[in-house]
Each structure stands twice: as structure tokens, then as C-alpha cells.
Structure 1
Amino acid sequence: MLMKSIAAGLAGTALLATVAFAQAPTATTDKAAPAATTTTTSATGQWRTSKMSGVKVYNDANENIGSISDLLMDKSGAVKIAVIGVGGFLGMGEHLVAVPYEKLKFVNEAVAYTGTGAKPATTTTGAATGTTETKPAATTTTASSTSKWYPDHAVFNASKEELKNMPEFKYSE
């Protein structure tokens, strides 16, 4: 019985070695290897929409009023609406509201805090102006903020209570 097991093992090993040798490429000396070329595309200054979900939204008084839950675009690919989640805890009881995307102002610098309190002492880099410009705010950025592929936060000119009183956004089915 032991001899049969050893013979089966040797036969299996020989079979696997034959398959491995058959797959090994043969070297040819009559043809030159093609030159390897690598093409890359740079997207400096662009934001990934997958990273925009969860970006915090502050108001003019530097109060955290919610976070971006989703971005909605038209058929041409232009982002038209930002869905902001207001209130709730860990996604429970969150109130979704839709705001025009051009009303948001994106900022690359972090909100500055002094001390350990919950309320920041300085304001963000500008307030939402309500213009129709959809480009990111022209702010000074550091290498770490440009490599994140998303802004630090957004500014929207409303209080948390005003957002909670807005009609709730529902996805149509």
C-alpha cells in the first residue's frame, strides 16, 4: 500500500513538472524585444467624487452643519445638487437636504481651532457667496491638501436649524 502511494506521488510530481516546463517561454535571438512604453495621465487639481462623500460642511460662523452625502449631476456630467446630511448620530435620524452645488464653497485649509473647546475661534477661508461659479475656491494649498484628492471642507451659508427645516430630500425610485 505504501508503494502505491509513493508511486502515485511521483507520477503526480512528474506530471506537474512536465506542465511547468511546457509553459516556460523559449528565448529567441532573432527578434528584438519590443520597447516598453508607459503612458500616464496627470489629474492635478481634480477631485474624486468618491472622496467627496463625507466632507464636512460648515456655515459662516464655523459651525459644523452636516456633511456631504451625495452629489447629483445632470446628463452632461455637471454636478448640480449636493445632498447634505444634517443631524443624526452614526447615520441614524439623519435629515437629507438638497442644496444647489454652486452655493457651496470648497476650502482646502483645515478649520482652525484654539484650545480644546468645541467652537472654533477663527473663521474659514471665505463664506459661500451664492455665485454660479462651480470651480473650487482659489486658496493657498499645501502639498498634503492637494494630494488628498478632495477638499478639507465646504462652506454653506445656513445654520443647522435652517437646514433641518428645509424639505427632506428623498431619492425617487
Structure 2
Amino acid sequence: MYRLALSAATALILAGPAFAQTAAPAPGAPSATGTPSRAPSSAGTSSAQTMAAGAAATGKDSGMTMGTTSTVALRFVNFSSADLMASRLEDLDVYNNQNESIGEIEDFVIKDGKTISGVVVSVGGFLGLGDRYVLVDPSSIVIGNQDGTMRAYVNTSKDELTKAPEFKYDRD
């Protein structure tokens, strides 16, 4: 039961928004609907309102945008008891179904600035020396609670994980 609940919570956190790299269309350029967009005027319409209206018109959430200033209206979200913080998942021990420690979650890969497409897992090594990194699909990881300690579980052996394609990872 804990695994099912924590799997659902993990899916929710791993599907959360991240950094997006989308460029705003140029003023006067055709929009997705085929009608030309208007440049925001200084008489009452801010670029944040224009961007919010564009997102509402397309029905798509643009996620986070890369930049040096924010022109998007601030929105807030609710946190539920089933949600997890990504910081709680970093450095989490990874176990197989035989309850053997086979690695540790190091980081997350964010695809298209919106979704987590991979989980960086360190395998092998001793005390952080000689670690080898592999990239695991988030859907193949289950988060569980063993005697009050959070753990990540994967259905593989340490040998199989060690033989997986190496992921070149620089922590800096």
C-alpha cells in the first residue's frame, strides 16, 4: 500500500513544471491560430497579460521560462500530503527487490523544460570514489518507506544496473 501511494506521489512530483526554453513570437508574427498577434501597447496591456492570454488561448501551460527577468503573472500551487520535494529524493538509496542497496539517486534530467525524463543513479564505487552514473526512466522507480526510511526501488540487479549505458555526469 505504501509503495502504491508513494509511486503515485513520485509520479506527481516527477511530472511537475521545470525550466522551459520557449521564445515569445515576434510582434505581428502569425500565431498558432493563424491570426497576426498584436504588439502590447503601453496603454493598459502588459507583456505578462499578453503572455498569459496566449497561454490561455492555446490551452497549454508553458512551464518555467528561461530569462533574466519575469514578464509572466505569478501563480501559486497547493502542496498536498502525497507530494514530495525533489530535495528529499536526491541522495536517496536505491534498492532492488531483494532489498540489496544497488545505488543512489544523484540528480534529475528535465526534458523540454517541463518534465523529468531521467533519474541519474550512481552505481558502484566506494564512498563516492569510482562511481559510475546511469540514467534511469522515472517510471521504473518506485518510492517506498522501509521502517520509517524513504527508499527508491528498481526491479533489477546491481550487475544489470552496472552494465547499463554510462551517463556522462558532471556534478558541477
TM-score, reference length from structure 1: 0.49
Compare the two structures and name the one with the higher strand fraction.
2
TM-score, reference length from structure 2: 0.49
Bigger Rg, structure 1 or 2: 1
